[in-house]
Amino acid sequence: MTAQNPFDRTVEVIRATFKDPTVRVTPDTTADDVPGWDSLSHAVFLMNIERAFGIRFDPREVLELENVGALVELIGAKLT
């Protein structure tokens, strides 16, 4: 990963996980906005995020996430 901030790194992980380098991602993006984002790929995506940032999620934390922006906030909290 070459991006420096959590949002950009998250976008890179989304594009790599869902094999779509052109998918548009904003803080308001949800799974419904990304082709191929289903329950199985969601689990793979979260593992990829954990690996990219060197963090671990509690399953309860990810159940409360509403969009990419909330995920980036959670990542930021875990990094500090």
pLDDT tens-digit series, residues 31-63: 999 999 999 999 999 999 999 999 999 999 999
Separation between Cα atoms, residue 1 and residue 16, nearest integer Å: 10
Q: Which band of pLDDT confidence, cut at 50, 70 and 90, is reported for residue 23?
A: very high
Determine the pLDDT at residue 3: 47
For tokens 């509403």, what's the residue? 66
pTM score > 0.95 for this model? no
> 74 and 61 in contact (C-beta within 8 Å)?
yes
Determine the pLDDT at residue 31: 96
71, burial (CB in 10 Å: exposed 0-12, middle 13-18, buried 19+)? buried
In the chain, the domains with their CATH numbers are 6-79 (1.10.1200.10)
